[in-house]
Structure 1
């Protein structure tokens, strides 16, 4: 059972891309997985959502800080984790479409 948490003050996150440049990402949503005892954040580069093109959504795992904020991000490495992320993402997209 995935729990979704929305941080109103944490809508943006800065990541370093492969070129070593800082890039601003907008947070789509975060959720926790009891199975892996980790939290996950899904985000996409700011400015790409205005186009109708396929937006590349990035997913990372993280351990929340004591304040409940997003801590250090780690790459997602296992297929099992990707399966859960995909499942939650697809549910999120369906919910969004139903609301429109």
Structure 2
């Protein structure tokens, strides 16, 4: 996983399945939501994203953030928050690895 990009913004599109990340230079990139999950241990919701422009067999960097869900529990027009705690990162990576192993898909 990579470091987060500063000044994250998201745009509502196709049932909130896409998020636009804006880096500190103002460059925008569209990401697709891989999945979201909640952690009781940290009391947060998390979203994992991958570049929307990625080809099916292309290796990509997964971006992960915590977020405040909307009333439907989705990533909406709200803010994404960087994951800065090492233990929290480890938990997110474990969830991602479980997802990849269960799904059989390489991201």
Assess same fold via TM > 0.5.
yes
What secondary structure, in the 3-state scheme, does the structure 2 residue paired with 1:92 have?
helix
Aligned length: 90
Can you give the 5+ residue segments of structure 2 that lack an aligned partner in the other structure? 1-13
Summarize the alignment of residues 9-88 of structure 1 with structure 2, pairs less than 5 Å apart.
9-48=15-54, 50=55, 52-70=57-75, 71-88=78-95
What secondary structure, in the 3-state scheme, does the structure 1 residue paired with 2:61 have?
coil
Q: What is the rounded CA distance, in whole Å, between the counterparts of 1:18 and 1:51 in structure 2?
A: 28
Deviation for aligned residue 1:28: 0.4
What secondary structure, in the 3-state scheme, does the structure 2 residue paired with 1:80 have?
helix
What secondary structure, in the 3-state scheme, does the structure 2 residue paired with 1:90 have?
helix
Q: Please, what TM-score do these two structures have when normalized by structure 2?
A: 0.74
More strand by share: 1
Moved over 6 A (4+): none
Q: Please, what TM-score do these two structures have when normalized by structure 1?
A: 0.79
- Of structures 1 and 2, the one with the larger relative CO (CA 8 A, separation 6+) is 2
